[in-house]
């Protein structure tokens, strides 16, 4: 005799496992119950979803944020600034040459302001994309946790059913012996 339980509908699962009507659940719970009832696998992870929707601008923003937020960038940029100041400062005057951006380095300030004005929005775009990926990850984690909880409840119910069946069968067998 096989002990196969029939496949349940999302509505039945909601009442059996959660003790609530399907219509009372939020959209995320309804979607998860639908997937559990159908036996569907969990969808792709956040990186796969985000990678499918990435544009050239998004890739550029991520690259700028990765480079601009690194120690290599900070150190190399500091070296460029010190070289700029050395070339355009007293050193170049000591050699008898005329600096192309004399102190107070107005052209350097203009370039730094332009860099900051362009780099800041690109970094913010990258942070927004990361926040989007984090939201997808959170939804994915929630679904995994809810599905796990539902599957544990289903297994617990099946185990209870099996124990009842075995106890009933054992009682019947003991009753026949007497």
Report how many domains make up the chain.
1
Which domain range does residue 110 map to?
42-177
Specify if 162 maps to a domain.
yes
Specify if 122 maps to a domain.
yes
Confidence grade of residue 46 (pLDDT, cut at 50, 70, 90): low
Rounded to 10°, the helix 106-177/56-68 angle is: 110
- Would you put residue 133 in left (φ > 0), alpha (ψ -120 to 50) or beta? alpha
What's the mean pLDDT when you consider all of the chain? 83
| Overall average pLDDT of the 49-62 stretch | 82
Least confident of 3-7, 66-70, 153-157: 3-7
Residue 176 has pLDDT above 90, yes or no: no
Specify if 163 maps to a domain.
yes
- Sorted by sequence, the CB contacts under 8 Å of residue 85 that are 6+ apart come out as 105, 108
Specify if 160 maps to a domain.
yes
Specify if 172 maps to a domain.
yes
Look-up of token digits 């544009």:
55
Specify if 33 maps to a domain.
no
DSSP string computed for 39-65: TPPP---HHHHHHHT--HHHHHHHHHH
Specify if 26 maps to a domain.
no
Residue pLDDT, tens place only, 75-128: 999 999 988 888 887 777 778 888 888 878 899 999 999 999 998 998 999 999
Residue 43 has pLDDT above 60, yes or no: yes
Look-up of token digits 């998860």:
32
Residue 132 has pLDDT above 90, yes or no: no
Q: Are 142 and 28 within 8 A, CB to CB? A: yes
Confidence grade of residue 178 (pLDDT, cut at 50, 70, 90): low
Residue 72 has pLDDT above 90, yes or no: yes
pLDDT value at residue 6: 61
Residue 9, SS3 per DSSP: coil
């Amino acid at each position: 005799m096989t002990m196969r339980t029939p496949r349940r509908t999302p509505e039945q699962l909601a009442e059996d496992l959660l003790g609530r009507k399907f219509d009372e659940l939020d959209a995320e719970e309804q979607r998860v119950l639908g997937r559990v009832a159908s036996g569907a696998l969990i969808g792709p992870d956040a990186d796969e979803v985000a990678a499918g929707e990435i544009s050239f601008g998004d890739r550029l923003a991520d690259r700028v944020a990765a480079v601009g937020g690194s120690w290599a960038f900070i150190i190399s940029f500091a070296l460029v600034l010190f070289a700029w100041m050395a070339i355009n400062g007293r050193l170049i005057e000591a050699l008898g040459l005329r600096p192309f951006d004399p102190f107070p380095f107005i052209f350097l300030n203009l370039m730094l302001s332009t860099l900051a004005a362009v780099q800041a929005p690109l970094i913010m775009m990258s942070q927004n994309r990361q926040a989007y990926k984090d939201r997808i990850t959170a939804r994915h984690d929630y679904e995994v946790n809810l599905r796990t909880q539902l599957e544990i409840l289903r297994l617990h119910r099946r185990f209870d059913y099996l124990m009842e069946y075995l106890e009933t069968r054992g009682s019947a067998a003991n009753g026949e012996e007497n």
